[in-house]
Homo-oligomer: A and B are copies of this chain.
Amino acid sequence: MTLRESIIQKLEDNGFRITGSRVKLVDSLIKHEEGFTAEELVTEVREAGRATVYRTIRLLVDQGVLCKLAMDSGAPRYTVSGMAHHHHIICVHCGSVREFRQTVIERALKSMEDDDGDTVVGHRIEVFVLCAACRAAGAKVDSIRAEHQHS
């Protein structure tokens, strides 16, 4: 079963209708290997209206198909979530997003549980990089490091 099929299957299984707009949107977003913004989809999928694009994205996030990623500034990016639990590597220059998983970190975070009366319900890890492609294209790390306190 392809990714496309499995997404459509999931919607069908959960009682949502498979409409033309939804199929067009799924077709478009699975092409975005490195994530996309809502407005990118609005522009790309002219067959679907603004409201439908936003509604469909929300639906897919709710269904666990998409992963919403709030950026420090600008609109959030969405990625098709391959792994059930994962984190993100984000290029600070082009905004592209990749998934990763690091069991050492998972274990360390687990060990924090109940340290001071709070109940841990989850966590999120984002690693900011200058991706190989951007570096090759001449982007320099220094100007970026300054505006990213995350270091």
Chain A interface residues (CB < 8 Å from chain B): 64, 67-68, 70-72, 85, 89, 91-92, 100, 102, 104-105, 108-109, 112, 116-132, 135, 141, 144-145, 148-151
Residues of B with C-beta under 8 A to A150:
121-124
CA distance A51 to B4 in the complex (A): 46
The dominant DSSP class at the A interface is mixed
- Given the interface pairs A105-B108, A149-B67, the reply to whether A130 lies near B125 with Cβ below 8 Å is no
Minimum distance in angstroms from A71 CB to a CB of chain B: 6
Q: Which single member of B67, B72, B105, B145 contacts A70 (CB below 8 Å)?
A: B72
CA distance A91 to B120 in the complex (A): 9
Q: Are B148 and A121 in contact (CB under 8 A)?
A: yes
Q: Are B123 and A119 in contact (CB under 8 A)?
A: no
Q: Are A128 and B124 in contact (CB under 8 A)?
A: yes
Highest count of chain B CB atoms <10 Å: which of A64, A72, A123, A131: A123
